[in-house]
A and B are shown apart, each in its own frame.
Chain A
């Protein structure tokens, strides 16, 4: 009898540690999805259950999850629409490629090179974030979105005409086809063709570590004093300002951290392919990341993780439909958006869910009023 009681108390304590409050719940679910997903995919790959095509998607999935998490910092937690996330990714990716190429001779270990690539990607993307963030964060709503869109397009356009090459140990760059003293094979980035001959260093494990790091940064920021300030400004800018929160500062923190994380993910992405063209980081990629965030539920981090995973796998899974693949993808996207956001459908789904979920039913019986409050919260 006593043992049983102890067990119950232990279970309660455990539950308190992992699901005690909103923050703990979110963290447990997010980390849980990533770690369980990693283990399952690794086991599946080792057992030969997962095809080659899908295995090739492991690193991109991790990268897209990181991007979704980092964009959630701007869109969900800071409440600003950003349409230029791929721009930061591009900056990070090409910086990373340059850094690894420069280190190739002196550093044999791929993982160390990858580490420095990711670090350099974070730094340059953060600088880009500061440069673009300081002037524009005073803009409101859709205007800010357009400026980020413009930023993404500018980065893509400039990368299209930028040439980098190694002359011995010196790094040189130019805006046209010829760089002084650089032979063809010493070129790192050649304009619209992009980077070629990249030695792949990214692995599923390192990519997953990066994703976990991104998650760690965003969750901790969200649950810090700074995070609460950012969310206060999101919920009511004027009220936040009037209690002494420096609006621009906190918006900038969210924006720059998000940019740096996107740069890291970009660097990882760049290390996963032997060639990489600047066109990869166009408006569509920015939009794709935004789709992950919105589909997962704005501000909901684990929702973003699931959405990124599913939507990266979906085009692969639809391969049998060949030509109709992207069309199906578009239809699925529209239908899912309407089903998740349409008020009537949501209310109906909520009713059905209440009927089938035993926990909800028990709760409803126990505390009618409190339950009402909670569903209200979930709908937010």
Chain B
């Protein structure tokens, strides 16, 4: 039973990582940049939702939708102001700018909301926890919903990318930027859309994560951000199913090592697993192998 409980919380945490990892993996796929500010967009999503429910007494779900809208706008703005001027100048310059954006978001949050941790009211406040097997197995509404939400998002996104015109345009841009432009695809719009989707999902992840672990601080987003990024690499960066598998595995490893090995060393174990996976499969679990041409 203990194992099953850990399994469920692992899957739930993994689902949060997977949703965040989607943002990383899509942005990486289309613009080949490591968007380190993504983790902080999660935090902004959490704070917006927190403020709307706390100070304006809104329903949690409406707050979630508004938080998604705010983060979507934020993502587009960040891309427009900070990343677009540096497009095509090599990944390092954009990486540092992304780090600058990350500092900016964290410190803005620090100024607006202060350094004190805020207690987040769960989206499922008042919903009963499911008890099974004589009360030994507990499934919280949060973890159940997170897992379901992850699956739904994954299906929708896969359909979007493979079936719709906009999704195909996104894939074309990530395949070959120049050729896509020649085919009449609006590259700027495709990239903006990727950032919008990724940031909107980050807001969902932020609210879900804060529902499960209800502490909100300006630095809340950074560690899950790094881990989700690891998850994206784990699954093969650029691949949408890879992000899901990577996120789930990472969440499971983290919770299992917390339960059975050591709480303090769980992060080290997670990262060690990443190194081992990359040694065996250098482009991640589902990553494409790119052959170099002379």
Contacts and interface: CB of A to CB of B under 8 A. Distances in A.
B100 A343 contact: no
Nearest to B287: A143
B99 to A, nearest CB: 5
Contact of B104 (A143, A146, A237, A327): A327
Interface string A182-212: 0000000000000000000000000000000
Interface string A274-294: 000000000100010011001
Contact of A333 (B86, B90, B103, B111): B103
Tell me what chain A mostly uses at the interface: helix, strand, loop, or mixed. Answer: helix
Contact of A331 (B93, B95, B104): B104
B170 to A, nearest CB: 20
A161 B85 contact: no
B267 A157 contact: yes
A216 interface: no
A142 interface: yes
A161 B108 contact: no
Given A75-B92, A151-B275, A291-B96, A327 B267 contact: no
A378 interface: no
Interface stretch (B68-76, B119-127, B183-191, B278-286): B278-286
Contact of B268 (A135, A154, A331): A154
B247 to A, nearest CB: 15
A149 interface: yes
B237 A330 contact: no
A140 interface: yes
B294 interface: yes
A154 B272 contact: yes
Contacts, number: 128
Interface in B95-154: 95-97, 99-101, 103-104, 106-108, 110-111
A334 B104 contact: yes
Nearest to B232: A146
Contact of A135 (B104, B106, B279, B283): B279
Q: Could you say which interface size class chain A belongs to? A: 35 or more
B95 to A, nearest CB: 8
A283 B95 CA distance: 14
Contacts of A138: 282
Contacts of A329: 103
A53 interface: no
B274 interface: yes
Residue among B36, B100, B237, B284 with most chain A CB within 10 A? B100
Interface string B26-38: 0010000010100
Given A330-B100, A334-B97, A343-B89, A157 B268 contact: yes
Interface in B153-203: none
A150 B279 contact: no
Given A326-B107, A338-B82, 4 more contacts: A138-B282, A150-B230, A290-B99, A338-B85
What 10 A-B pairs are tightest by C-beta distance, nearest first?
A150-B271, A330-B103, A157-B268, A330-B104, A333-B100, A334-B100, A341-B93, A327-B107, A326-B107, A342-B85
Interface of A: 75, 81, 135-136, 138-140, 142-143, 145-147, 149-151, 153-154, 157-158, 160-161, 237-239, 283, 287, 290-291, 294-295, 298, 323-324, 326-327, 329-331, 333-334, 337-338, 340-343, 345
Interface of B: 28, 34, 36, 82, 85-86, 88-93, 95-97, 99-101, 103-104, 106-108, 110-111, 222, 226, 229-230, 233, 237, 262, 264-265, 267-268, 271-272, 274-275, 278-279, 282-284, 292, 294
26 contacts: A136-B275, A139-B282, A143-B282, A143-B284, A147-B278, A149-B226, A154-B267, A154-B272, A157-B271, A161-B264, A161-B265, A239-B294, A283-B222, A283-B226, A287-B36, A294-B96, A323-B111, A330-B100, A330-B101, A334-B97, A337-B93, A337-B97, A341-B93, A342-B86, A343-B89, A345-B85
